[in-house]
């Protein structure tokens, strides 16, 4: 890893390890049996079958000693817990949004916001929708539209802010087909679907102006906002000396509210929130919250969780933490690049996105190439990744480009060391070296919504095994 503190000494993890968890070591035979049982869907593996788990960076962080301490002093009052007061004041201080409520995770916040604001026939623009965001927009009869810049779809473009919104495309939607039918504009920071790529402050400012000129509110999906702010500090002119908190204030000043899955830059295993400046909307959200999640001072969480989130949100803004986090992803990218493995460049904030089309050019979408690659990484070294492509996004989003097709190696926060990542790079490189022999998959069970979670597959050309339900 690159030395970052100016001393010339080798960079190290900015933490030491106080509690450890044994890594399972499944044998090749055990992995093969596990794949068969799982219907070649890595969501169906059990954790003891996995050596390195890069399925997601969501809810998989290691909490700090201070966060564990916050759990111990949790105040489990149903209403008016002091942990809620701490949670509320922390988020108000970071974002400036006056009204907010906890939810059990990000998609619950999405459900509240979209079910309150959207009606059938509406359009919701977003740089790129993530899977649950897209599903909630559609669940309310509205149409999700992706409006990221062209460079977001060019896997080799060195653009520093590939998460940016294409401003002419946004104007065209707001004044054309979507005129009078866009209840909110949303921007996801960082853009997960497009590789964890950041959005610049300059771009957010322009989006905010466009939306507000038409009296449309701007909401941010802020689940990886601290990583986004770090990139702004690194890459945007005039930002190098500003703190993450300061950059955050500049970001949130442009928006009317946000949803957040705290399972990312909140450094916790569960939790989220929705926040707004609009007192009238807040009252409507609260009604839905009480119906689906819980009383507004806990929102479906244990009160101690709110305490851990408040601490985690602050820790995620610390520069030594963020520097290591972003450099760790870059380090894995560097090892893969040295072995000629194709992936989205530059690396984003929370993982490496393997370029499926270039990795397995002999396989097509019908072969479920992304899934086949994810299966192969598990087979080779017990590494679990996730397909972020045609299976996750089943054509439900309107966009101007051919959809992206990735296998994501998501890096959990504060969990793995450089040695673990070197192991991952070697596993990926070995699969790359024997890529021509990788065969496709057929989908034997396709659920109607969010198919990636529960679909089942079988090796192409093989006899289709019965599903557990059929076997019963």
Binding-site member from 116, 132, 398, 444 for ligand P71 (CB under 6 A): 132
Is the separation of the CB atoms in 415 and 62 below 8 Å?
Answer: yes
Q: Which span (18-26, 53-61, 136-144, 456-464) binds ligand P71, by CB under 6 A? A: 53-61
Give the span between the Cα atoms of 132 and 451, in whole angstroms. 11
CA distances from 320 to 14, 80, 159, 294, 327 (A): 7, 34, 25, 36, 11
228, 224, 312: which is closest to 266 by C-alpha? 312
* Helix/strand/coil for 408: strand
Please, which of residues 253-292 interact with ligand P71 by CB under 6 A? 261, 263, 272
Closest CB 300 distance from ligand P71, rounded Å:
12
360 or 386: CB nearest ligand P71: 386
Asked if 131 interacts with ligand P71 (CB under 6 A), we say: yes
Residues in contact with ligand P71, shown as a per-residue x/- string from 204 to 243 under the rule CB under 6 A: -----------------x-x--------------------
Give the span between the Cα atoms of 375 and 32, in whole angstroms. 10
Is the separation of the CB atoms in 373 and 354 below 8 Å?
Answer: yes
Closest CB 141 distance from ligand P71, rounded Å:
20
109 or 432: CB nearest ligand P71: 109
Binding-site member from 111, 126, 192, 203 for ligand P71 (CB under 6 A): 192
146 or 192: CB nearest ligand P71: 192
Closest CB 107 distance from ligand P71, rounded Å:
3
CA distances from 400 to 129, 232, 390 (A): 14, 26, 16
Closest CB 439 distance from ligand P71, rounded Å:
24
220 or 432: CB nearest ligand P71: 220
322 or 432: CB nearest ligand P71: 322
Binding-site member from 61, 81, 83, 105 for ligand P71 (CB under 6 A): 105
255, 256, 252, 273: which is closest to 264 by C-alpha? 273
Q: Which span (4-12, 130-138, 325-333, 416-424) binds ligand P71, by CB under 6 A? A: 130-138
Which residues does 203 contact at the CB level (< 8 Å), separation at least 6? 161, 164, 165, 167
Structure tokens at 87: 């949670």
Beta bridge partners of residue 102, listed in sequence order: 273
Tally: H helices and E strands in the chain: 16, 14
Asked if 387 interacts with ligand P71 (CB under 6 A), we say: no
Which residues does 430 contact at the CB level (< 8 Å), separation at least 6? 380, 381
56 or 203: CB nearest ligand P71: 56
Q: How many residues bind ligand P71 (CB under 6 A)?
A: 19
Binding-site member from 83, 133, 164, 203 for ligand P71 (CB under 6 A): 133
Q: Which span (55-63, 204-212, 234-242, 284-292) binds ligand P71, by CB under 6 A? A: 55-63
Binding-site member from 130, 219, 231, 273 for ligand P71 (CB under 6 A): 130
Asked if 384 interacts with ligand P71 (CB under 6 A), we say: no
CA distances from 60 to 56, 98, 174, 376 (A): 7, 29, 38, 23
Asked if 188 interacts with ligand P71 (CB under 6 A), we say: yes
262 or 281: CB nearest ligand P71: 262
Q: Which span (100-108, 152-160, 203-211, 281-289) binds ligand P71, by CB under 6 A? A: 100-108
Dihedral (C-alpha) 312, 131, 380, 62: value to the nearest 10 degrees? 10
Give the span between the Cα atoms of 168 and 424, in whole angstroms. 40
Binding-site member from 148, 204, 316, 386 for ligand P71 (CB under 6 A): 386
Which residue has the CB atom at the shortest distance from ligand P71?
106
Closest CB 463 distance from ligand P71, rounded Å:
29
Which residues does 19 contact at the CB level (< 8 Å), separation at least 6? none
Is the separation of the CB atoms in 199 and 189 below 8 Å?
Answer: yes
Alpha-helical segments (H) within 200-278: 201-213, 225-235, 244-252
Residues of this chain that interact with ligand P71 (CB under 6 A) are: 55-56, 58, 105-107, 130-133, 188, 192, 221, 223, 261, 263, 272, 386, 410
């Amino acid at each position: 890893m690159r030395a970052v503190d100016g001393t010339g000494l080798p960079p190290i993890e900015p933490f030491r390890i106080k509690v450890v968890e044994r890594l399972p070591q499944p044998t090749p035979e055990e992995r093969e049996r596990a794949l068969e049982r799982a219907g070649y869907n890595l969501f169906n593996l059990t954790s003891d079958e996995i050596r390195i788990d890069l399925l997601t960076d969501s809810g998989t962080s290691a909490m700090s000693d201070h966060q564990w301490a916050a759990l111990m002093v949790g105040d489990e009052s149903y209403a008016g817990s002091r942990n809620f007061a701490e949670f509320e004041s922390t988020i108000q201080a970071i974002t400036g949004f006056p009204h907010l409520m906890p939810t059990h995770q990000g998609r619950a916040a999405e459900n509240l916001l979209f079910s309150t604001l959207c009606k059938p026939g509406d359009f919701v623009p977003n740089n790129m929708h993530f899977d649950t965001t897209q599903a909630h927009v559609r669940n309310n009869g509205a149409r999700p539209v992706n409006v990221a810049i062209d460079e977001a779809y060019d896997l080799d473009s060195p653009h520093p802010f590939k998460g940016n919104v294409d401003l002419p495309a946004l104007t065209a939607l707001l004044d054309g087909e979507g005129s009078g039918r866009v209840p909110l504009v949303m921007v996801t920071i960082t853009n997960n679907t497009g590789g964890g790529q950041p959005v610049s402050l300059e771009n957010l400012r322009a989006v905010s102006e466009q939306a507000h000129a038409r009296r449309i509110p701007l909401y941010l999906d802020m689940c990886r906002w601290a990583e986004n702010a770090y990139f702004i500090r690194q890459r945007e002119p005039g930002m190098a000396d500003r703190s993450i908190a300061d950059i955050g204030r500049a970001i949130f000043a442009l928006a009317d509210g946000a949803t957040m899955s705290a399972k990312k830059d909140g450094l916790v295993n569960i939790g989220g929130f929705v926040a707004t400046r609009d007192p009238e909307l807040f009252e409507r959200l609260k009604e839905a919250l009480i119906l689906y999640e819980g009383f507004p001072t806990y929102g479906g969480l244990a009160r101690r969780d709110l305490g851990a989130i408040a601490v985690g949100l602050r820790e995620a803004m610390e520069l030594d933490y963020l520097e290591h986090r972003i450099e760790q992803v870059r380090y894995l990218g560097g090892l893969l690049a040295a072995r000629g493995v194709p992936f989205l460049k530059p690396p984003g904030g929370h993982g490496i996105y393997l370029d499926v089309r270039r990795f397995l050019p002999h396989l097509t979408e019908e072969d479920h190439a992304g899934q086949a690659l994810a299966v192969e990484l598990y087979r080779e070294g017990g590494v679990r990744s996730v397909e972020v492509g045609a299976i996750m996004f089943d054509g439900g989003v309107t966009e101007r480009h051919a959809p992206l097709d990735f296998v994501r190696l998501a890096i959990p926060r504060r969990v793995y060391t450089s040695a673990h990542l070197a192991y991952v790079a070697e596993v990926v490189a070995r699969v790359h070296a024997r890529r021509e022999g990788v065969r496709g998959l057929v989908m034997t069970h396709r659920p109607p919504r969010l198919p990636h979670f529960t679909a089942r597959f079988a090796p192409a050309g093989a006899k289709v095994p019965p599903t557990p339900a059929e076997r019963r």
